[in-house]
A and B are shown apart, each in its own frame.
Chain A
Amino acid sequence: MSGMFDLAIVGGGPAGQAAAQIACAAGLGVVMLDEQPRMGGQILRQPPSTLGVRDWLPGATYDDLKAQLHRSEALPGLDWRGGVSVLGLFRDADGFQLLATGRDGRLTIAARRVLVAAGCYDMPTAFPGWTLPGVMSAGGVQAFLKSQQVVPGKRFVLAGTHPLQLLVADQLRKAGADVAGVHFAQGLGAMVGQLLRDPLLPLGNLRPFRDAAAAFVNLRRAGVAVRFGQRLVRAIGSERLEAAEFADGTRIACDVLATCYGFLPQADLPRQAGCAMQRCERTGGLAAVIDRWQRSSVQGLSAAGETTGVAGAEVALREGRLAAIGILLADGLLSESEAERRAAPIRRELAKLQRFADLLARIADPRTAIAGLADDATILCRCEDVTRGALIRAIRATAGPEDASALKLVSRAGMGVCQGRSCEHAVRALLAEQGAAPGGGFTARFPARPVAIADLID
């Protein structure tokens, strides 16, 4: 299909797939765009079709998601565009123009409605030495394993606050890596205390908890140390990472340090489009505000999954379903009562899953662990090499900046190729710490992903 699509879905993960199934079944013309060459999202980031992989992502967690993925890849009527980065969304009289780039330059897609289901990314956490080659996000390390079938180093240290690091460590171990240890900054007592705050939650029924517990047992059996109350403070090395240092002075030699402090919504496009956003309390990310049909504050623009707040794949795929039902309702393809009838069981499941997601977010709360980690020489903005010290000087200068956007103009933090995705949460936290107003964050600018000027003007 060319010309005007009924629906453009940005993101080929569980939320986008779930929405595509419902929208395609109702006869809508749907296009799906994703930066990865194959559908799946980060949770099911597929290996290249050229590689043979035995038992790709085994386990119950992945089974339902894989079944949905295989159905989605075979969906008749879905126009899949992999390897494409959406740079901007522009509203016009008929709907939206999406400006995107692929391997060979620019493309423009027109659609009546847009669903942004762009997922999330690991919260970049700044500490001395974090710019050394070998310091990576845990999600990035995991993607090397599950998608690229590469163990990206020899000796791994994992550190952070999020239980996902147990799964990554166990996957590394199974792939033959030397895992030197998994380090939670928080104490085991604090984590168990969060679990006991809601003792009626049947945790054994919930896969993420079951999987984390199983990974923990596997690691222990394999002799991999899992330590609690061990706060990472520094990465050491010259040309590349050589060791990780913890608050108690322990140093562990490693060539990869995977950090795991939680996740931030990928929300550049709704921000650019002017959608109302809300701040994620614990991580400082910004999530799209949505109504009960996943509709944003901008007419015709919906959002589902982690773009609306990080809650995991199980929540994301149900939000994708709700978003599609809401679109069918808005298009008059479903009556109000039919839409409500289809949505009711999904809403019930979401209410239950959201309790678990909230619990996981409380357990993984990174705020205490990362407070004070960066010193004045630590780079916060990786693109423009702006240190914490330089930012503090700018904040304290006479006629200092009024908010994050003003600080960006005087310091260059957030002006680089990542558009502030790496440093924005840290810059806002620093402004608050210095008694200044963080404001709504950096003003979101086109393009949402880096692009050659030549691609825009040719």
Chain B
Amino acid sequence: MSHRIATHHPEPILIRVDGAEVTALPGEMLASALLAADQPVFRADLEGQARGMFCNMGTCGECFVTVEALGRPPRRLRACLVPVELGMEVWRG
């Protein structure tokens, strides 16, 4: 199981990922929240095989998810580059 190591952090918030609640820390990247929640699968490829994080620096595009934050239209974004926000809704795949 993944774990967090920050010595102190703000109160965790809840975001929704494919309809289910996931605990996240304000300011951390969406990819970090997903891995910390032991959810390493981000999409399925053309063969239906599971895919997950690869480069974690915005270069490979494996972590593309659809993100809807309060007051903003849904966007396809790289989860490794999106800080989580209260009320965020995420759809993988």
Q: Which residues of A contact B (CB under 8 A)?
A: 35-37, 42, 47-54, 83, 85, 103-104, 121-122, 124, 131-137, 139-141, 143-145, 148-154, 175-176, 239-240, 255, 266, 379, 382-383, 385, 416-418, 421-422, 449-450, 452
A419 CB to nearest chain B CB (Å): 9
Q: Is the CB of B40 within 8 A of A134?
A: yes
Q: Is the CB of B2 within 8 A of A154?
A: yes
Q: Is the CB of A150 within 8 A of B8?
A: no
In the complex where A153-B35, A175-B5, A240-B40 touch, is A85 in contact with B58 (Cβ < 8 A)? yes
Chain A residue with Cβ nearest B72: A104
1-44 of chain B: CB within 8 A of chain A: 1-10, 25-29, 32, 35-36, 40-42
- Secondary structure of the A contact surface, majority rule: loop
Q: Which residues of B contact A136 (CB under 8 A)?
A: 52-56
In the complex where A35-B81, A121-B59 touch, is A51 in contact with B54 (Cβ < 8 A)? no
A140 to B59, CA, bound (A): 10
Q: Is the CB of B57 within 8 A of A382?
A: no
Chain B residue with Cβ nearest A135: B54
In the complex where A133-B50, A134-B52, A140-B53 touch, is A150 in contact with B58 (Cβ < 8 A)? no
Q: Is the CB of A50 within 8 A of B26?
A: yes
A382 to B45, CA, bound (A): 9
Query: Does any Cβ of A come within 8 Å of B46's Cβ?
Result: yes
Q: Is the CB of A153 within 8 A of B2?
A: yes
Q: Which residues of B contact A85 (CB under 8 A)?
A: 58, 81
Q: Which residues of B contact A176 (CB under 8 A)?
A: 3, 5
Q: Is the CB of A131 within 8 A of B49?
A: yes
Q: Which residues of A contact B83 (CB under 8 A)?
A: 37, 48
Chain B residue with Cβ nearest A266: B59
A261 CB to nearest chain B CB (Å): 13
Q: Is the CB of A137 within 8 A of B55?
A: yes
Q: Is the CB of A150 within 8 A of B59?
A: no
Chain B residue with Cβ nearest A130: B54
A257 CB to nearest chain B CB (Å): 11
In the complex where A153-B35, A176-B5, A385-B45 touch, is A124 in contact with B27 (Cβ < 8 A)? no
Chain A residue with Cβ nearest B36: A150
Q: Is the CB of B56 within 8 A of A141?
A: yes
A425 CB to nearest chain B CB (Å): 13
A43 CB to nearest chain B CB (Å): 12
66-84 of chain B: CB within 8 A of chain A: 72, 75-76, 78, 80-83
| CB < 8 Å neighbour of A383 from B5, B6, B61 | B61
Q: Which residues of A contact B5 (CB under 8 A)?
A: 145, 149-151, 175-176
Query: Does any Cβ of A come within 8 Å of B60's Cβ?
Result: yes
Q: Which residues of A contact B6 (CB under 8 A)?
A: 47, 51-53, 149
Chain B residue with Cβ nearest A139: B57
Given contacts A103-B82, A133-B41, 20 further A-B contacts (CB under 8 A): A51-B27, A51-B28, A136-B54, A140-B55, A150-B2, A150-B4, A150-B36, A151-B3, A152-B32, A153-B35, A154-B2, A176-B3, A382-B51, A385-B45, A418-B59, A418-B60, A422-B54, A422-B59, A422-B60, A449-B58
- Secondary structure of the B contact surface, majority rule: loop
Chain A residue with Cβ nearest B1: A154
A85 to B42, CA, bound (A): 22
Of B7, B28, B60, the most chain A CB neighbours within 10 A belong to B60
Q: Is the CB of A421 within 8 A of B7?
A: no
In the complex where A131-B51, A134-B40 touch, is A42 in contact with B57 (Cβ < 8 A)? yes
Q: Is the CB of B52 within 8 A of A132?
A: yes
In the complex where A132-B50, A240-B40, A382-B62 touch, is A51 in contact with B56 (Cβ < 8 A)? no
Chain A residue with Cβ nearest B81: A35
A131 CB to nearest chain B CB (Å): 6
A279 CB to nearest chain B CB (Å): 19
Q: Which residues of A contact B78 (CB under 8 A)?
A: 450
In the complex where A133-B52, A240-B50, A266-B59 touch, is A150 in contact with B28 (Cβ < 8 A)? yes
Q: Which residues of A contact B80 (CB under 8 A)?
A: 140
Q: Which residues of B contact A134 (CB under 8 A)?
A: 40, 52
Q: Which residues of A contact B62 (CB under 8 A)?
A: 382
Q: Is the CB of B54 within 8 A of A382?
A: yes
Q: Is the CB of A124 within 8 A of B35?
A: no
Q: Is the CB of B60 within 8 A of A452?
A: no
Q: Which residues of B contact A104 (CB under 8 A)?
A: 72
A63 CB to nearest chain B CB (Å): 20
Q: Which residues of B contact A153 (CB under 8 A)?
A: 2, 35, 40
Q: Is the CB of B55 within 8 A of A122?
A: yes
Q: Which residues of B contact A140 (CB under 8 A)?
A: 53-57, 80
A383 to B8, CA, bound (A): 38
Q: Is the CB of B55 within 8 A of A452?
A: no
Q: Which residues of A contact B53 (CB under 8 A)?
A: 133, 136, 140, 152
